[in-house]
Structure 1
C-alpha cells in the first residue's frame, strides 16, 4: 500500500489534536474537538477547513477556456473572466469521471480544482485531448486550499485585509503579509464562505492567521467529518459515493450543471439519449421519520420490495435526524414513505427534495 500524502498543514493539525483519516490517498483531519460541535460552529459562526487534498491543475494557451468548454458539461458561456463554475467531466457513457470547479483567470488561462483521487486522471484526459500549444499541468502539490465557512467568514477575512463581499462563484486576488492568494466565494457547506488558494510554502502562516483573526467570532478548526455532514444537509453529492463513473450525470443530481444547449461535450450523446428516454433512477433525499441513521449502500424498500440504495447517509446535527441521499426510481416523488434497512431493521423514511436545511450560501 502506498504511503498517504500529507497536507502542508499536517503539523498544525497534529498540534491541534486532530484525528486523521484517509481521504483520496491523503491523510486528512477527520475531526478536532468533535464533528457535531464543528458542524454547529460553521452553521452559526465560522469554521476553517484544510481541503488541500483537493486537486489543482492549470490549462494555459490560446483557446484554453474554449477547449475546456468542449469537454465539460456546464456551459462556459454562462460566466466570464473572474468567475468560477461548477461542472462535471464525463466519460463516453455519460458517467462521472469527476466533478470540479474551474476558475476563469484570463482569456488564455484557467485553473481547475478537481477531487483528490481524480486529479491525475483529469489532467491525463485533458492533456491527451488538448490541441497543440495548450499546456495542461498538474499543480496538486503547489498550493493549499483553506475553506473559511460560516456567517462570520466575512469578518474573519476582513480582519486579515483580504477581499470579501464578491458575488457567489466569483473570485479576487488578495495578499496577506506579501503572500499572494486567491479568494473565491465558494464552498461545500451551504453557508456563506470563501476558499483561499494559497502557495503551499506559506499555508501554515495563513492558517495560523485565519484562526487568530476569527477568534473574536468563535472560529473553530473543522475536519472532513463536519464537512461531510454539512454537505449532506445541503444535498451536495460526493464523488465516489453519489457521483461515479458507472453512474450517469443525469441520474446523480447534477443535471443542472449540464449545458444542454451546447453543441457538444464529453458524454453528450449518451446523456441526451438518457434525457429523451427518461432516467431509470435519480438521486433524491431521504429524511428519517424515526431514529434510524442511514449509511451508504443500505437498501431502500417500497411496499416491501428493494427499489434502490443509499449513496450518502448520516446524522444531521442541525435537524437531529437521520438524512440520506439515495438512488431511487423517479416515480417515488417527495412525500412518499419508504423504508431503509438499518442493521437488519426496516426504518421509516420520507422522500424529500434537498436541501434538508435552509442556509445563507447565496446571501448578499
Structure 2
C-alpha cells in the first residue's frame, strides 16, 4: 500500500513489525488487522487486546464556566458528572441532526481554571474543532489540541486492567466505568479513562509519543494481542455501539438513532437542536435504528435494503457483519418506528436475495 495517501500514527512502524495490514481510514493509514479478525476479536472477548487509536481527536477546553458553555451544544445534562467522571453525548445542528458523538471528561480545576477533555472522531476532528471555536470562545473558553504527536491506546478485554496494573503498578480498582485519572509514570503524566468501544472492560490512555511506543512494546511482550480496525468494528457492532457516518449523521436525530437516553429535555438549559428534539418528542420519531439478526450465513452490509415481509423496501442497513461471538450475522439499520419492535420479522436484500431477518434486542452481545 502507498502509505503516502494519509497520516500515520507514532505506532505505524511498530505495527508493521507486528505484521499489520493497513487500510486508509478518515485520512489516516491505520492497521486493519494483524493475526486476523476472528483471532483479534476473541482475544478481546476472552483475554486482552490493544488498539492504536491515535487517529482520534483529543481536545482540551478551559474556562471559568467551560462546562456550562459546552452544555449549550449537547443534549445531555453535563451537570450530572463531576471531576473524574465522563459523559458520552453528541453535538447537534439546529435541526437536531447529529454532527458527531464524543466523550466529555470533567477534569475539575486545573491551574485555577475548569478543564474539560473531549475525545472526538478522527473524520470529524477538524469540523468539531471549528464548531467548538465558533460557539465556545464568546463564553470565555479556550480550545487546544491535547494529543499533539502523542499516542492514544485502547487496552480492552477481561485481562486488560490486571495486565496494566502488573506492568505499571497502578491500582485501578477505584476507577469506575467512565471514570478517569491522571497517573504518573516516571516523568510522564498519563491520562487514563475506563472507557472503550468493544463491550468489554478496559481503558483508553493518552501518552507521549515515546511513552506510547514503549507501552505498546511492553503490552505485546506480556501477551496483549495487537488488534486492528476490522476487529474493533465487529466488537463494537456486537455491543451495538454506533459508528459515526454510518449508523448516525447530521440527517438523523438522537431520537431516531436510538440514542434517546442521551437527550435530557427535563433539564432547564437551552442547547442547539433543543426545539427540534422537543418537536420530535411530541410527534414521535418517524424511524428508528434497530438491531437485526439474519438467518443463514448471508451478511447484510452498509447500504443494503431492509424490506417488510411483503417485499416492500422500508429501510436501509447501516452496519453489518458476521458475529464471531454469536455465530450468526447481525446488523444495524433504520426502519419505520412502527416496525422497530423486537421480534418483528423483516427481510434484508443481500446480493439480490431476500434473507429472513428479525428485529433484535440490543446489544447483541453482553458479557456474562
Interval containing the TM-score (normalised by the shorter chain): over 0.9
| Aligned counterpart, 2:54 | 52
2:180 equivalent in structure 1: 171
Q: Secondary structure at the match of 1:175?
A: strand
The whole-number CA distance in structure 1 between the counterparts of 2:356 and 2:208 is: 48
Q: Is the 8 A contact 2:69 2:139 kept in 1?
A: no
3-state secondary structure, aligned to 2:326: coil
Q: Which residue of 1 aligns with 2:66?
A: 64
Report the more deviating stretch, 135-144 or 46-55: 135-144
CA distance in 2, matches of 1:265, 1:138: 24
Instruction: Please report how far the alpha carbon of residue 88 of structure 1 lies from its aligned counterpart in structure 2 after TM superposition.
Output: 0.2
Gaps of 5+ in 1: none
Aligned to 2:152: 145
For residues 133 and 278 of structure 1, what CA distance do their matches in structure 2 show? 37
Cα distance in structure 1, aligned partners of 2:139 and 2:201? 40
Q: Matches of residues 109-124 of structure 1 in structure 2 within 5 Å?
A: 109-124=115-130
1:231 and 2:236 aligned: yes
User: Is 1:353 matched with 2:361?
Assistant: yes
Which residue of 1 is the match for residue 193 of structure 2?
A: 184
Distance 1:25 1:139 in 2: 19
RMSD: 1.5
**Residues 10-68 of structure 1: per-residue CA shift (max 9 Å, x gap):** 11111111011111111110100100110011000110011111101111121111111
Give, in angstroms, the shift of residue 132 of structure 1: 5.0
Residue 241 (structure 1) aligned with residue 246 (structure 2): yes
After TM superposition, what 4+ stretches of structure 1 lie above 4 angstroms from structure 2? none
TM-score normalised by structure 1 residue count: 0.94
Secondary structure at 1:5 match in 2: coil
Number of the residue aligned with 1:279: 285
TM-score in terms of structure 2 length: 0.93
Look up the SS of the partner of 2:338 in the other structure.
coil
Q: Secondary structure at the match of 2:252?
A: coil
Gaps of 5+ in 2: none
**How far did 1:139 drift?**
3.5
Whole-angstrom CA distance in 1 between matches of 2:150 and 2:297: 42
